[in-house]
Amino acid sequence: MPKAEGKTFSFLGEDAIETGILETIDFQNKEKEFVRYETDEFSAVCPFSGLPDIGKVMIEYIPSDKIIELKSLKYYFVSFRNVGIYQERATQRIFNDLFELLNPVWMKVTVIYKTRGGIDATTIIEKGER
């Protein structure tokens, strides 16, 4: 892998992401309710430079029989803050962790990252039938 020029900062590996902190709440979804959670306080670390990647995360889903407990979701996001993970992989990781936990009818995860080096990045993963 290429190395960044100049100073780089240390970071943790992906195994520091705390998936075990995520909790669910039983939920009856007879009306096929649509749920959206958003935060603009997501951050991880670019594994190339060690600099922060900051973004807005939007989680949209149609629950089957569980919803995510929001305080646990916040703590889960905080566990990314010192992890070296590429933007695309961070979106995959969030999506996979939540989809496996919730088994929703449909889910979409979007992360809109702050501009870095003059380039805007948005990553999106969607699965299921809406």
Q: Give me the active site residues, please.
A: 46, 53
Beta strands in the chain (DSSP E): 24-26, 35-45, 52-62, 66-68, 106-116, 119-128
Residue that has been written with the tokens 């979409």 in this structure: 108
The Cα 87–Cα 7 span in angstroms is 21
Rounded to the nearest 5 degrees, what angle is found at the Cα of 72, between the Cα atoms of 59 and 86?
55
Residue that has been written with the tokens 């939007």 in this structure: 58
The Cα 50–Cα 82 span in angstroms is 9
Residue that has been written with the tokens 């993970």 in this structure: 85
Residues 6+ apart with CB under 8 A from 34: 60, 61, 62
